[in-house]
Structure 1
Amino acid sequence: MPRNLPLTAVQAPPRLIGEPFSQFAEEATRIRADQPDTRLIVFPELHLFGDGQPDQQRADALRAAAEPLDGPLLRNLRQLAGDLGVWLIPGSVCESAPGGMLFNTAVVLSPEGEVAASYRKIFPWRPYEPYDPGNSFVTVELPGIGRVGLSICYDAWFPETSRHLAWMGADVIVNIVKTTTPDRAQEVVLARANAIVNQVFMVSLNCAAPPGAGRSLIVDPEGFVLSESENGTPTTLFADLDLTHVDRVRANGTAGYNRMWSQFGANDAPIDMPLYAGRIDPATWTPAASDQRSNR
């Protein structure tokens, strides 16, 4: 059966802390009107948490703006997603948690206005970011469409993140980004590489100038770029993702040859992985099937 995900990725500069929420609501409403067929709208990392011009991302400003996930900001975001009738990833938010902890947290809002998933960035950009690390990989099921894995910026530099999300059944990994530095060139390569080695769609969405480097892109499960921005100019990327492409590539191989998820035979011995104090077990290597998606 068809499993299409029309997706809009908004490469935009961050909005300043303290701006009226109505300004973001108007932005999202315009995007929805421009792309009436879209099912998922995505904004960059910390889109609602800009810290001046130039954007300094000061720890004190971020902590002062942080809220728990049942706070006023999330209530407004839930209302907006319900009003728009789409899946919405409004970037990530500064989440305050007990014990004075601060997380960089991606949230997914459903078309019914519910928090469908939240993900705390596992790999904060150390030593530059003030966030505490999360400890759980997260995917979310879009009923009748497919499964989306959540990733934030520097997570993409650690192959374990994308590999685990793909193993959990993600058809597409959304990596929201706020890169202002020259290493965006490397992140573009990583987006394609993560798509290729895991046979998933990758959405690598960076913020626009100022302050971001832009260069957002959407990549298919064989590493081909479906849509991209060549610079930091504000723009929107749209792609109608055929998620059955993931199933076809895994069955037939990348370029018709490489089937990494079918590497092991039933009688192969486990491979020890001392780095993780664990192992690759052939019995559990295969990702969650498309008709059996679950957070394993």
Structure 2
Amino acid sequence: MQLSGSITALATPFDAARELDIDAWHRLLEMQLERGTQAIVVAGSTGEAAALYDAEYDLLLRSAVEFIAGRIPVLAGTGQSNTAKTIEQTRRAAALGADAALVVTPPYVRPTQAGLVAHYRAIADDGALPVVLYNVPARTGGDLLPETVAELAGHPRIVAIKEACNEPERMQALLELQCKDFSVLSGDDPTACRAMLAGARGVISVASNVLPAGFRRLCDLALAGKGDEARAWDTRLRPACDFMGIEPNPIPVKAILALQGIGHELRLPLQVLPDRHREAAAAMLASIEAIEEECLRLLAA
């Protein structure tokens, strides 16, 4: 498996009672397919995975696999704070039809680099699914260093890394490890264009929940080496990417989705976007819809 292009880390729609809204989930999936998203992540951090019950995880993933029907890869978030539980969750995702597992570094426990090597090798050796490493120190309290990634990248079942650290030096060190069988993907929307122009093969994005056509265009331009056009388009997307950071993820993106009629609520301890941001959200929705309409016209031309 070689992952590339615009990959959306999907939000999980909840209704007004904070129950799964499967109709809204299907509308979100349909929008992603229609507008060019090249893979999806189910039950990652953007999908509030920590707030899902096992039966809900199963329903979300099973329904996504059935709806997508092999048209694009479906990645499942399976990372836990314990190796054995991560293996169990990865097997669960495989049984439900996922194509790969997105495995975040174990949250909270802060293993050593040697511990991370042992953790990921154990998951990959189990063989349930191809493994995508996921490094996001701001959320987990641990950092998967490039020299550690180098020890893991040669494993035949470890196929990619999603890197959320936005330093150019970090990305460059990882790009030196990229090969036919191991892809480097940006996990940071504001710097994804820069990463792809440097050689990264794509982005696992939050903002593409609401800008699927916009991010597909960004990826197409950047991966084609059209630097000036990609940077100009990135400038168009930047206000939306900045908006997604005004409150912890996925609060802002779910506010825009709610305005689009896709879900309403988050689960505690997360709360909906504060009223002080409501005017900005409405303005951002108008900007996002204009960008998407432009992209769709370009696709149809």
TM-score range, shorter chain: 0.3 to 0.5
Query: Under a length normalisation based on structure 2, what TM-score does the superposition of the two structures give?
Result: 0.45
Relative to its length, the structure with more helix (as a share) is: 2
Specify which structure has the bigger relative contact order, considering alpha-carbon pairs within 8 angstroms and separated by 6 or more residues. 2
Relative to its length, the structure with more strand (as a share) is: 1
Query: Under a length normalisation based on structure 1, what TM-score does the superposition of the two structures give?
Result: 0.45
